[in-house]
């Protein structure tokens, strides 16, 4: 049983919450305060001194700023990354779960090895190869490149889910007369849905935030790049105000997804032990 939360727990939680909340708070201040209270000051206040929607409206309506298109592009890429990740993870995870742990663990380590190389080093050859097959400057190309980042973890989570399922459930389904695919889709997959969902959401959020592959494989044209790249573009062009607004907008889907994820993000799902 979890021990009772004492006052120390709450103080710790509050301090942590403040640390995590400060960046978001600064973003909110920049986005909703008149500029004279934020960028207009040498020492901007941490307390809100005024309220305006002008910043947001300007950022959205100014021609040449591409909030909508880059958000859309990011959404497309993120869903594609999540989709490809779980599609591959389901089959890879199921296959690995049938091997002995000794073998499958080694394969998992190999998968993670790719992530130990800096993304920049891998992204350049990837970009040049993608260019040959028409995946350069293409959302499918970005999505595929981002799979390099998300796939190991995604396979690991889904594999953990499969490993945690009692083997006799599958056996029972076969004995009950189910051909392999019926038992897989009717029994095995539904039972592992939580691990699959967690893998999807983590892949989605990783892609939403991913910069290295996106900036190298997708061009820096602001009209036509994913959200983090566009944001970087604005910051580097000294459009910090617009960047702040954008960042705030970009936080919304993450907050929503985190809300979903909170329900499932208990240690046991990541460690692979699934409660059925």
Residues 257-276 that bind other proteins (CB under 8 A): 276
Element (H, E) at 243: helix 240-264
CA nearest to 98, candidates 191, 183, 167, 193 = 167
Q: Which of residues 68-87 bind other proteins (CB under 8 A)?
A: none
User: Binding mask 190-229 vs other proteins (x if CB under 8 A, - otherwise)?
Assistant: xx--------------------------------------
Question: Judged by CB under 8 A, which stretch of 150-158, 165-173, 249-257, 258-266 contacts other proteins?
Answer: 165-173
Which has the closest alpha carbon to 89: 184, 194, 199, 198?
Answer: 199
Candidate residues 178, 220, 254, 257; the one interacting with other proteins per rule CB under 8 A: 178
174 touches other proteins by CB under 8 A: yes
One of 168, 238, 259, 262 touching other proteins (CB under 8 A): 168
Is the CB of 107 or the CB of 169 nearer to other proteins? 169
| CA pseudo-torsion sign 195, 84, 121, 210 | negative
Query: Is 175 an interacting residue with respect to other proteins (CB under 8 A)?
Result: yes
Q: Which stretch binds other proteins (CB under 8 A): 50-58, 139-147, 148-156, 178-186?
A: 178-186
Question: Tokens in use for 204?
Answer: 């989605």
What is the three-class DSSP state of 40?
coil
Exactly one of 169, 220, 235, 240 binds other proteins (CB under 8 A); that residue is 169
103 lines the binding site for other proteins (CB under 8 A):
no
CB of 113 to other proteins, least distance (A): 29
Given a contact cutoff of 8 angstroms between Cβ atoms, the answer to whether 161 and 274 are in contact is: yes
Taking CB under 8 A as the rule, does residue 171 contact other proteins?
yes
CA–CA dist 269, 254 (Å, integer): 20
Contacts of 101 (CB under 8 A, 6+ apart): 163
Q: Does 166 bind other proteins (CB under 8 A)?
A: yes
Q: Give 109: exposed, middle or buried? Use CB within 10 Å, 0-12, 13-18, 19+.
A: exposed
Q: How far is the CB of 266 from other proteins (least distance, A)?
A: 18
């Amino acid at each position: 049983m979890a021990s009772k939360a004492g006052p120390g727990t709450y103080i710790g939680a509050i301090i942590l919450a403040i640390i995590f909340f400060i960046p978001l708070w600064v973003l909110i201040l920049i986005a909703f305060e008149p500029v004279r209270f934020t960028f207009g000051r040498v020492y901007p206040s941490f307390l809100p001194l005024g309220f305006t929607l002008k910043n947001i409206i300007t950022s959205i309506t100014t021609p040449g700023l591409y909030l909508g298109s880059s958000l859309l592009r990011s959404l497309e890429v993120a869903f594609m990354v999540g989709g490809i990740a779980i599609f591959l993870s389901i089959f890879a995870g199921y296959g690995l779960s049938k091997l002995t742990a000794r073998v499958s663990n080694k394969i998992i380590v190999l998968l993670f090895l790719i992530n130990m190389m800096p993304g920049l080093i891998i992204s350049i050859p990837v970009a040049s190869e993608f260019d040959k097959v028409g995946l350069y400057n293409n959302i499918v190309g970005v999505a595929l490149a981002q799979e390099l980042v998300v796939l190991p973890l995604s396979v690991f989570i889904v594999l953990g889910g499969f490993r945690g399922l009692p083997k006799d459930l599958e056996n029972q389904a076969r004995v009950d007369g189910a051909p392999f695919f019926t038992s897989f889709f009717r029994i095995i997959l539904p039972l592992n849905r939580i691990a699959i969902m967690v893998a999807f959401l983590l892949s989605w959020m990783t892609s939403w935030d991913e910069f290295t592959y996106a900036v190298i494989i997708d061009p820096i044209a602001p009209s036509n790049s994913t959200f983090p790249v566009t944001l970087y573009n604005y910051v580097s062009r000294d459009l910090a105000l617009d960047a702040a607004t954008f960042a705030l907008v970009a936080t919304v889907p993450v907050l929503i997804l985190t809300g979903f994820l909170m329900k499932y993000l208990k240690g046991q799902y990541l460690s692979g032990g699934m409660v059925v």
